[in-house]
């Protein structure tokens, strides 16, 4: 995909150019295939393994690769020095600054939204949005972070 000049979409690109068609596809992308790569749950390997690989591919082919991460901020690692399997806020910030991460969310604690009350859903979603935006607010004046949610566990309901 990288060597064949795919257009790596952000969540906003998908919305603007393909779902609502509220914006015209930029000229440089009109003849390219589009794809959105999503990564779930914010595991540390996104930072330690995937990000360095993306950097190498970008240098080799000159094509920017963007990942859409669906994060549950309640599962993010804190800075207490204890080894963890999940990303830390500064690692999210680094990926955002490199323009490699589009950071969206699953809810605060990755709860199955089809199994909790409406009040709990609202709390899960609002808390997640607030926490993620607070983590990146100085880097995200347009508040693109946490503007879209993906239901955890690929479940949906009314």
Q: What is the phi/psi pair of residue 104, to 5°? A: -120, -170
Q: Is residue 98 part of a domain?
A: yes
* 145: containing domain: 35-154
Share of the chain above pLDDT 70, in %: 97
Assigned token pair, 146: 């946490």
Annotate 52-115 with three-state secondary structure. HHHHHHHHHHCCCCCEEEEECHHHCECCCCCCCCECEHHHHHHHHHCCCEEEEECCCCCCCHHH
- Mean pLDDT along residues 83-107: 92
Q: Is residue 8 part of a domain?
A: no
What's the pLDDT tens digit per position in 107-121?
Answer: 999 999 999 999 999
Angle in degrees, 0-180, between the axes of helices 118-136 and 89-97, rounded to the nearest 10: 60
What's the pLDDT tens digit per position in 6-39?
Answer: 999 999 999 999 999 999 999 999 999 999 999 9
Q: Is residue 131 part of a domain?
A: yes
Q: Is residue 28 part of a domain?
A: no
Per the structure, the count of domains in the chain is 1
Using the predicted structure, report yes or no on whether residue 82 has a pLDDT greater than 80. Answer: no
| pTM of the model as a whole | 0.90
**Count of Cβ atoms closer than 10 Å to residue 63 Cβ:** 16
Q: Is residue 12 part of a domain?
A: no
Tell me what pLDDT residue 108 has.
Answer: 93
């Amino acid at each position: 995909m990288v060597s064949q000049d795919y257009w790596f979409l952000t969540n906003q690109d998908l919305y603007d150019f393909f779902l609502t068609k509220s914006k015209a596809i930029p000229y440089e992308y009109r003849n390219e295939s589009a794809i959105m790569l999503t990564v779930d749950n914010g595991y540390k390997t996104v930072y330690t393994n995937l990000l360095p690989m993306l950097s190498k591919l970008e240098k080799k082919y000159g094509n920017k690769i963007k990942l859409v991460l669906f994060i549950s901020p309640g599962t993010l690692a804190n800075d207490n020095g204890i080894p963890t399997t999940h990303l830390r806020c500064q690692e999210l910030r680094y990926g955002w600054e490199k323009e490699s991460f589009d950071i969206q969310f699953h809810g605060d604690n990755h709860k199955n939204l089809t199994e909790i009350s409406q009040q709990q859903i609202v709390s899960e979603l609002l808390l997640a949005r607030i926490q993620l935006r607070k983590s990146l607010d100085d880097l995200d004046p347009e508040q693109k972070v946490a503007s879209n949610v993906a239901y955890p566990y690929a479940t949906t309901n009314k």
